[in-house]
Copies of this chain bind each other. A is one copy, B any other.
């Protein structure tokens, strides 16, 4: 694999981003560094980085792509359709969920891929949806 300046740029933008980034945001960030950055290069670099296992992509509540640097622990995401809040699925909770899915046909869920939508406890108590 060739270590080109534009790849450096993408990786730099990625690590400079805390948590999750949209592909579009990444393009933005890269352009801040180097205005000649082309979107397609960023997208393709992301694909490569993903193949290498350096990053993972998922989809936000609106289905848009989001990337996050591969963390030590896999983590899913929750989105509250009432308050718009987003947060990570707690460890224990994740295990319970994985177990729940596995219980039927041994389906091994990858919670990190998609944002799970619903109403958070606070909003639910406040009157829900």
Contacts and interface: CB of A to CB of B under 8 A. Distances in A.
Given A59-B63, A63-B64, A64-B63, A116 B104 contact: no
A18 interface: no
A129 to B, nearest CB: 9
B101 A108 contact: no
A97 B113 CA distance: 17
How extensive is the interface on chain A, given as a class? 35 or more
B93 A121 contact: no
A124 interface: yes
Contact of A116 (B81, B105, B114): B114
Contacts of A108: 118-121, 124, 128
Contacts of A81: 110, 113
Given A65-B63, A101-B97, A104-B93, A110 B118 contact: yes
Contact of A119 (B78, B110, B116, B124): B110
B110 A103 contact: no
A10 to B, nearest CB: 20
A23 to B, nearest CB: 11
A121 B107 contact: yes
